[in-house]
């Protein structure tokens, strides 16, 4: 009996290096975990541009409108038609007007449109925003390291 | 009854690693699954009041230059024009537009002094949005030796040409 116990104790492997590596992995994933980028819709393939740099100062509560290549409009997580988007924007504008500190014109509307979307659709979205008195827009693009002019 | 010796009790202290390793692996799998590569994104800032209110705002002294972009039925670029001058639809059309804008800004006194210049983009409805971003890239500035230079900041769109809003 005593003999067998001794033998089993010898079979234990050293877990320390494995646990070390596993903790390193966890630390890595915790660093790269990004909670703030909830607005990035993976269905949208943004046009690339070398001048599209991340804003130096983060926008104060921006609105994000997304347009896919098959002309679906997403706003605050829902798929909307143009008419629904208009009423949603008017509602947002009402909310902003009701708060004394903010002005509708100062709120940035981020437009994330797919590179194969129709320009006319983007223009229509901008027009809807203008009807709701928004006039500051940010056209979003994917940051590119190389010049996109000669492609 | 046997009396235990102290040293044997010390020998027996054995940390239970299994639950900890279980949890650690669970955590690891959670992070692996939620991991996604986030590409860096940036913005072109455009201030574009609606045409009705824009009339009340002071008009710029010079008329806006118009960049006309014609589209093929499939949405490709058919023709690129700036103030009547055509750049065609070749691959270097945007680069040539950029050179043209750059020389005009330099004529006006170098980068940064062209604050009153304005460009209006008149694109066909079906044109792929990619082309518009490339045109805006050509118009708004350039990067040279890692330095960002601004050309024309003020860009606006013409109203959409076909299709009714809210249909």
Which parts of chain A are beta strand (E)?
48-49, 63-67, 73-75, 78-80, 108-113, 136-143
Return d(Cα A55, Cα B15) in angstroms, integer. 51
Give pLDDT tens digits for B17-63: 888 889 989 999 988 888 777 777 888 888 777 765 555 455 555 66
**Taking CA atoms, what residue in A is nearest to B73?**
A118
**DSSP label at residue A53:** B
Give pLDDT tens digits for A47-65: 888 888 777 777 778 888 8
Contact B128 A126 (CB under 8 A): no
Of A51, A123, A150, the CB nearest to B140: A51
CB atoms near residue B13 (< 10 Å): 6
Q: Which of B167, B81, B70, B10 is nearest to A121 (CA)?
A: B167
Which residue out of B42, B54, B124, B134 would a mutagenesis test of the A interface target, given it has the greatest number of A Cβ atoms within 10 Å?
B42
For residue A99, give Cα distances in angstroms to A34, A36, A103, A134, A137: 30, 25, 8, 15, 21
Quick one: what percent of chain B has pLDDT higher than 70?
75
Residues of B in contact with A113 (CB under 8 A): 129
Q: How confident is residue A24, by pLDDT bands cut at 50, 70 and 90?
A: very high
In sequence order, what are the residues at sequence separation of 6 or more whose Cβ sits closer than 8 angstroms to the Cβ of residue B138? A149, B94, B95, B97, B98, B101
pLDDT at B89: 77
pLDDT value at B163 more than 60: no
In sequence order, what are the residues at sequence separation of 6 or more whose Cβ sits closer than 8 angstroms to the Cβ of residue A119? B69, B71, B123, B124, B125, B126, B127, B128, B129, B131, B132
CB atoms near residue A35 (< 10 Å): 6
pLDDT value at B146 more than 50: yes
Contact A42 B36 (CB under 8 A): yes
Residues of B in contact with A51 (CB under 8 A): 42, 44, 137, 140-143, 148
pLDDT value at A23 more than 60: yes
Mean pLDDT, residues A90-117 taken together: 84
Return d(Cα A130, Cα B51) in angstroms, integer. 9
Selected from 3.30.1490.20, 3.60.21.10, 1.10.10.10, 3.30.420.270, the CATH number assigned to the domain covering B61-157 reads 3.30.420.270
In sequence order, what are the residues at sequence separation of 6 or more whose Cβ sits closer than 8 angstroms to the Cβ of residue A104? A93, A96, A97, A132, A133, A134
| Cα maximum dimension of chain A | 87
Helix or strand run (H / E) with residue A82 = helix A82-98
pLDDT value at A8 more than 60: no
Q: Which of A4-18, A104-118, A120-134 has the lowest mean pLDDT?
A: A4-18
Burial of B85 (C-beta count, 10 Å sphere; 0-12/13-18/19+): exposed
**DSSP label at residue A134:** -
Residues of A in contact with B125 (CB under 8 A): 118-120, 123
SS3 B48: coil
Average per-residue pLDDT for chain A: 80
pLDDT at B167: 34
Quote the ipTM score. 0.74
What is the distance between the terminal CA atoms of chain A, rounded to a whole angstrom? Answer: 77
**CA A135 to chain centroid:** 21
Domain ranges of chain B: 61-157
Average per-residue pLDDT for chain B: 75
Q: Which of A71-75, B130-134, B158-162 has the lowest mean pLDDT?
A: B158-162
pLDDT at A35: 64
Contact A55 B125 (CB under 8 A): no
Of B38, B44, B167, the CB nearest to A141: B44
Mean pLDDT, residues A44-48 taken together: 83
Give pLDDT tens digits for B58-86: 555 566 778 888 888 888 888 888 877 78
Query: What are the structural domains, with CATH classification, of chain A?
Result: 2-32 (no CATH), 48-143 (3.30.420.270)
Give the phi and the psi of residue B27 in degrees, each rounded to 5.
Answer: -60, -45
Q: How confident is residue A2, by pLDDT bands cut at 50, 70 and 90?
A: low
Q: How confident is residue B165, by pLDDT bands cut at 50, 70 and 90?
A: very low
């Amino acid at each position: 009996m005593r003999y067998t116990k001794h033998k089993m104790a010898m079979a234990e492997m050293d877990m320390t290096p494995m646990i070390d590596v596993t903790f390193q992995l966890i630390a890595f994933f915790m660093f790269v975990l990004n909670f703030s980028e909830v607005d990035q819709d993976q269905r949208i393939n943004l046009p690339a541009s070398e001048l599209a740099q991340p804003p130096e100062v983060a926008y104060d509560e921006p609105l994000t409108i997304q347009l896919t290549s098959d002309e679906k409009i997403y706003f605050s997580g829902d798929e909307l038609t143009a008419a629904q988007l208009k009423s949603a924007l008017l509602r947002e504008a009402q909310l902003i007007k009701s708060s004394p500190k903010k002005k509708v014109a100062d709120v940035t509307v981020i437009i994330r449109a797919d590179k194969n979307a129709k320009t006319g659709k983007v223009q229509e979205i901008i027009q809807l925003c203008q009807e709701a008195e928004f006039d500051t827009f940010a056209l979003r693009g994917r940051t590119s390291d190389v010049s996109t002019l000669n492609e | 009854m046997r009396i235990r010796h102290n040293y044997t009790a010390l020998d027996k202290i054995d940390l239970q690693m299994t639950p900890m390793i279980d949890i650690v692996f669970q955590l690891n799998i959670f992070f692996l699954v939620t991991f996604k590569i986030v590409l860096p994104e940036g913005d072109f800032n455009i201030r574009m009041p609606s045409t009705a209110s824009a009339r009340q705002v002071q008009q710029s002294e010079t008329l806006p230059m118009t960049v006309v972009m014609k589209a093929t039925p499939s949405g490709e670029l058919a023709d690129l024009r700036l103030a009547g001058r055509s750049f065609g639809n070749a691959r270097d059309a945007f680069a040539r537009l950029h050179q043209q804008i750059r020389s005009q800004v330099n004529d006006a006194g170098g980068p940064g002094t062209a604050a009153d210049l304005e460009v209006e983009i008149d694109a066909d409805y079906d044109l792929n949005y990619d082309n518009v971003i490339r045109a805006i890239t050509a118009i708004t500035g350039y990067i040279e030796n890692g330095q960002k230079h601004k050309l024309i900041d003020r860009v606006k769109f013409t109203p959409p040409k076909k299709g009714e809003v809210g249909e």
